[in-house]
Amino acid sequence: MSASQSSRLTVGSGPAARDIAIEMRSGAGPGLFWLGGFRSDMAGSKAMALDALGAERGLAVTRFDYSGHGISGGAFDDGTISRWLEEAEAVYAGTNGPQIIVGSSMGGWIALLLARALLARGTPAHGLVLVAPAPDMTHELMAPGFTLEEHQALHANGHVDQPSEYSDEPYRITRALIDDGENHLLFGGVIETGCPVTILQGGQDPDVPPSHAIKLVTHILHDPVTLTLIPDGDHRLSRDQDLAQLRAAVIRQLEGQ
């Protein structure tokens, strides 16, 4: 069993430079590449379950924290999809060979964007496993739920703070995040991944409803897609039985099923 090696990577330059924390386990391919969700980090239960699977099977595993998340540098309030995608691409460039990209929530959006970029370069991902994926979340899931007062605060102050059941502190959503999201919208056109896609979706998810996953499926027209609905699952999908589903989904892609 190989040990996980910690490293740091500077992404961007000048005032936009940020220090990204990476955990990389060496091993065989296809490797496993983790993309976390909004305000999550690489030490969460799903990320660690993926790392444990890699250790068990002798596979390479790459995890990292976006800027403003976990132990990476940078300010969370400076975060946008463009910045976090740039970081994902920079970390991915340090991997070897095809990867199974596993993205959770916002990480599912970034995974789809990363897969599209890889396909355009002629080096498609081995597969995608998306957990409660939230493509276009800024425009489909965030902004539509703002009250009039929150929309006014967003434009007047540049941000709005919303309570979250996942933290004692409110989540700050910036106007920069919302505005930048428009540059990366996927719905409305065919989503090309160049690889098999597996989606795990909780039926009781209050943040990314099952209808969002179904909408995503209708946009992936040229690649095989499997949607597994977990009827009693929430957004996190971090219970033991949920992690078993995640493990099984990754193994199926490893075995080409």
The whole-number pLDDT of residue 3 equals: 79
Please give the pLDDT value at position 136. 98
- Structural domain spans, the chain: 4-136+187-254
pLDDT score for 256: 83
- H runs (alpha helix) in 2-105: 45-57, 81-92
For position 1, what pLDDT does the model report? 60
Instruction: Give the whole-angstrom CA distance, residue 199 versus residue 213.
Output: 8
Q: Specify the CATH superfamily of domain 4-136+187-254.
A: Alpha/Beta hydrolase fold, catalytic domain (3.40.50.1820)
Q: Which residues of the chain have pLDDT under 70?
A: 1, 257
Q: Note the pLDDT of residue 165.
A: 73
Q: Would you state the pLDDT for residue 167?
A: 72
User: Environment class of residue 163 by beta-carbon count within 10 Å: exposed (0-12), middle (13-18) or buried (19+)?
Assistant: exposed
H helical segments located in the chain: 45-57, 81-92, 106-120, 137, 148-157, 175-181, 210-219, 240-254
According to the model, what pLDDT value does residue 5 have?
Answer: 95
Q: Let me know if 238 is exposed, middle or buried by CB neighbors in 10 A (0-12, 13-18, 19+).
A: middle
